[in-house]
Amino acid sequence: MKRRRFLSLALALTLLLSLCACKTKIVDDDTTQGNAPVTGETRGETTTEPAQTTEATQTTQASKTTSAERVTAPQRRTEKGKLDPSTGTYTGLSPLPKAKFTVSDPQNTRGLSTATVGYSFGVSKNGVPHQNSTNAQKYFDSNGFNAVSIDTKTKEKVLYLTFDCGWENGYTSSVLDTLKQKKVPAAFFCTLSNIKAEPGLTARMIKEGHIVGNHSTTHPDFSKISREKMAAEIEKCDNYLREKFGYSSPYFRFPMGSYSASSLDLVSSLGYKSVFWSVAYADWDVNDTKGKQYAFDTVTSRLHPGAVILLHSVSPDNAAALADIIDWARNQGYEFRSLEQLPN
């Protein structure tokens, strides 16, 4: 009897261990890339972050460090924000009056398309922009949408550097250090949650002359929500910047790069310019960093005159390579400009 009971227990233990091994195997083999639309030429070229992650997920991601990150990444750090007692803002600027948006054609009676478009920029090569980017700009212009994917009007070799900031991973301070040292203007498209969580970084961006763009309140897919909800997403984020930073800017970036004709029209009607991009790469996944050299090679190989560059500030590779990217571009005759210098 004891022998039979021992054999049964051993068999059960063997089965349990096998199940555990299978579960680990499934996790290890999972190569899905989240909810982000595929915006490059291949699945491996996903460039926009997935739908807003939870705080717990962000903490887990931030705690994982690859060997490439350990070798090349600058030290993580944060910057504490402090309210100015005289103004009640983090910048010391006087608060701005709150905005109240009027939603044009809330029921979309004109029948503008609400079909989801996952922005596809293509991969530029040899200093020549991909036709996807130039065609997108033609579409925006021909339909009267206030949007930019590439500067096709400026004849000089100009670049516009932008970052998406959905959450903080400890590298934005290093990015700001490099931009200050190199005297390069940039635009940081921030979600409301990140602005609230990182008031010190947001205030520093503003004080150092960068644009803080609106990246929405909750990071939804704008092609799947009503026009009233779109306006509310932008308004709430803008009003927090107005109240706590004495700041507002007319630049917006669609979460996940997902839009529709109706959403482009709505954003334009609110007085915002929608900022897309013509140069980017899959840099938002902090669990798949490839190192400084990879970031440098990838970005510099895709630069072209008039490029709007999208990088994610959570990437340790970007923080490590940024100074070299700037130096290389300038040596090639490129000039970095602010979005405020875009031609009308």
Q: CB–CB of 285/263 below 8 Å?
A: no
Identify whether 312 is a catalytic site residue. yes
Identify whether 151 is a catalytic site residue. no
Q: How far apart are CA 168 and CA 198, in angstroms?
A: 8
| Pick from 13, 120, 119, 69: nearest CA to 285 | 69
What would the two tokens of residue 108 be? 């979309």
* 75-79 long-range Cβ contacts below 8 angstroms, 24+ apart: 75/174, 76/169, 76/170, 76/171, 77/170, 77/173, 77/174, 78/168, 78/170, 78/173, 78/198, 78/200, 78/201, 79/173, 79/198, 79/200, 79/201, 79/204
What's the distance, CA 113 to chain centroid?
25
Helix axis angle for 292-302 and 316-331, nearest 10°, is 40
Q: How far apart are CA 62 and CA 76, in angstroms?
A: 10
Of the candidates 151, 164, 221, 283, the residue annotated as catalytic is 164
Of the candidates 210, 215, 219, 312, the residue annotated as catalytic is 312
Catalytic residues: 164, 312
